[in-house]
Amino acid sequence: MIPYGKHYIDDADIAAVVNVLRRGTLTQGSRVDSFEESFASSVGAKYAVAVSSGTAALHLACMATDVGPGDNVVTSANTFVASANCAAFVGASPRFTDIDPVTLNMSADDLADRCEVLGEVKAIIPVHFAGAACDMAAIKAIAEDYGAQVIEDACHALGGRYDSGEKIGSCQHSDMTVFSFHPVKAIAAGEGGMITTNDVKLYERLIQLRSHGIFHQKLLTTFEHIDISDAFVLKDEAYENGQVNPWYFEMRELGYNYRLTEIQCALAESQLSKLDRFVTYRKDLASRYDEAFYGIENLTCTQSDQRDQSGHHLYVVRIDFESLAMSRGEFMRRLMEKGIGTQVHYIPVPLHPYYQSRGFTLADYPEAEKYYREALSLPFYFNLSDEEQGLVVSSIQSILR
């Protein structure tokens, strides 16, 4: 079976993991710091905080910006549920925008209209769908009108750039950017996530929140501006003869165990060193798909004008199943019979039963609904061979004809 997505592991990745296993430190060690530094440098951000998943990254980003009950958080209707759930996790109200029919990303015009209706917006979470950047300059301008925080969901977009040339993750147009290291993403850690920011106060809070809300002595080297003699709240417990008790730590707020292990960081940092090669390969795959499907009736390639800047997480086509007189399920089953796996990204969030029970209806997002009815993600990953891609193309052409 040719899957729609697949990770790639080489001997260097395996050696990096084995080295951690032989050293003895499996969590909260130097590989976490090393990976964070490498990642921040790679995307052009000042700070990076490694966490256990992209969902954890979204959750902590909402917490760090004090999003809470009564706050409106706006994201795209076309995304994975975590982009909205993170607002619900902190008691806020998830809201949605429709998408631009060409980019498939959050429509800035629709965002402006919905923010005007809402009146107050605490945070906006644009999603760089399939790896292509949103119109961040326009989104940031709208956020500034409402005093809203901007948290980029770049779980698809590592290795991508904005139209202006900056790397996604540099936070040039946002307060924070979050990434995922799920196996089908640009780089794999098994599971894992990252938050980048240029704001030192957000960085320090994220560091504390990811580990139970605890402040301890190791953080004094991270938070260099803190005077060691005044670092702890419970001074009678923390100090003895002017020195910090070696066993002491204190919980400052309710946090979570969202840490990433040394094993995962070693794998992810090794993968990060191959990121440019991964993205270039996927870009070439996309170009070959574009050429093969050009002009074919009932099929439209998507985001083709964003190939040069995209992180290329997914290759999505739109198929007019109604004109084809074939359901999407039947189309996918025919491909499966040929050994080809496909997927749908995504079921729009407002369509899920949880959100329908809270008053949302897909009819309020017509472009997202139309896209969803036609969407199909094709096999797209590093090391997909020419022969395998050729089989995908010929099989789809055969079914369409």
Return the pLDDT at 24: 80
Q: Is the pLDDT of residue 221 over 90?
A: no
Domains, the chain, ordered by start: 11-213+255-274 (3.40.640.10), 214-251 (no CATH), 276-400 (3.90.1150.10)
pTM for this entry: 0.97
Per-residue pLDDT tens digits for 189-206: 999 999 999 999 999 999
Return the pLDDT at 153: 99
Whether residue 315 contacts residue 289, with contact meaning beta carbons closer than 8 Å, is answered with yes
Cα end-to-end span (Å), the chain: 23
Max distance between CA atoms of the chain, in angstroms, equals: 83
Per-residue pLDDT tens digits for 85-133: 999 999 999 999 999 999 999 999 999 999 999 999 999 999 999 999 9
Return the pLDDT at 226: 87
Task: Round to whole Å and give the CA distance between 164 and 183.
Answer: 29
Residue 197 is encoded by which pair of tokens?
């920011």
Return the pLDDT at 225: 83
Return the pLDDT at 222: 84
Residue 364 is encoded by which pair of tokens?
């309020």
Return the pLDDT at 245: 95
Return the pLDDT at 19: 97
Per-residue pLDDT tens digits for 306-334: 999 999 999 999 999 999 999 999 999 99
Average pLDDT for 59-68: 98
Could you tell me what percent of the chain has a pLDDT over 70?
A: 100
Average pLDDT for 208-215: 97
Return the pLDDT at 357: 98
Return the pLDDT at 316: 98
Q: Is the pLDDT of residue 395 over 90?
A: yes
Could you tell me what percent of the chain has a pLDDT over 90?
A: 96
**β partners of residue 193:** 51, 180
Per-residue pLDDT tens digits for 157-182: 999 999 999 999 999 999 999 999 99
Return the pLDDT at 179: 98
Task: Round to whole Å and give the CA distance between 208 and 225.
Answer: 15
Task: Round to whole Å and give the CA distance between 317 and 337.
Answer: 20
Residue 161 three-state SS? strand
Look at 327 and 401; give whichever has higher pLDDT: 327
Return the pLDDT at 218: 86
- Backbone CA torsion sign across 211, 214, 216, 222: positive
Q: Is the pLDDT of residue 56 over 90?
A: yes
Whether residue 151 contacts residue 58, with contact meaning beta carbons closer than 8 Å, is answered with yes
Give the mean pLDDT of the chain: 97
Task: Round to whole Å and give the CA distance between 396 and 375.
Answer: 14
Per-residue pLDDT tens digits for 242-294: 899 999 999 999 999 999 999 999 999 999 999 999 999 999 999 999 999 99
Please report where in the chains the tokens 């990096």 appear, as a residue. 16
What pLDDT band is residue 298 in, cutting at 50, 70 and 90?
very high
